[in-house]
Structure 1
Amino acid sequence: MQSKYWLALALVALSGCKSVSEQPDPNQIKYVDLSSEAKKDLVEQYWQVTKRVEPAYSIDAAKKGLSGCVTATVGIGATGEMVGYKITDSFPKGVFDSQGLAALKKWRWQATEANVDKVPVLTSIKLDFMVHGPDSRGNLAAAKEHCQFGKAPNQS
């Protein structure tokens, strides 16, 4: 009798664990892939940015006068939030990644009238980090060449 009591208690505890934070698994979501250069403008047919957060600038990078960029393939889920990402380009490697991702996690999108089913999409977003003025002594020329400032893949 006592073992049945413990079994019932364990089942209740396990069922409670499942209901906590039902986040979709990004690997199980069926996305429309709009991350390529050829399809970059199509994302606006599905989702519009309603909240854009500019990334913070790394203090260490600013002290060194570094400029750069981060490009990420981002999954926009049915709720209009980022549900997954992959860094596809970073210059200088790894310097601005965490600031870029922290900002992207705060972005929000709203489904367009054409996207009544709130179809999840993959898109590419490029964030630029550029030091101006006398502090731009670092790698500005190399960053301009690599990042092609002003020529973003999408939504920057």
Structure 2
Amino acid sequence: MYQHILIATDGSDLATKGLEQGLKLAKALGAKATVLTVSEPLSEQMANAARLGGIGDPVGRYDQQIDTVMRERFTEIEKRGTEHGVAATLAHEIDGFPAEAIIRYAKLNGCDLIVMASHGRRGMQKLLLGSQTAEVLAHTTIPVLVVR
């Protein structure tokens, strides 16, 4: 059925449910699993504010923080993968448009199913179907499993 499942996560509690479902499905189907996190780049406004606040290299500091967060997240994802008997490939992209990055990654890497949470960490829109999830659903031809 599905050969390569892309599991998108932002580290939120709900996204963790999506991760669990994606790993279980990959195990049941014997499919390859890739877990993707997309981080937004540091905006110029935030970098300028940081410089005004005395941070000499805000971009470098931001990159270090992202690296730390991703190491922690990947460690947890690897642990969950081991618990499910799935050796998932881990991927991280930096893009101001997470939905576009998810779709692009899935296409470029031959994923035939995208698993993601119904919403993540993005403002008021998370009360309904998340904006990134809605964007992925609207713009991809790859099947999407939305986890609530």
TM-score, length of structure 2 as denominator length: 0.26
Q: Give the structure with the larger strand fraction.
A: 1
Structure showing greater radius of gyration is: 1
TM-score, length of structure 1 as denominator length: 0.25
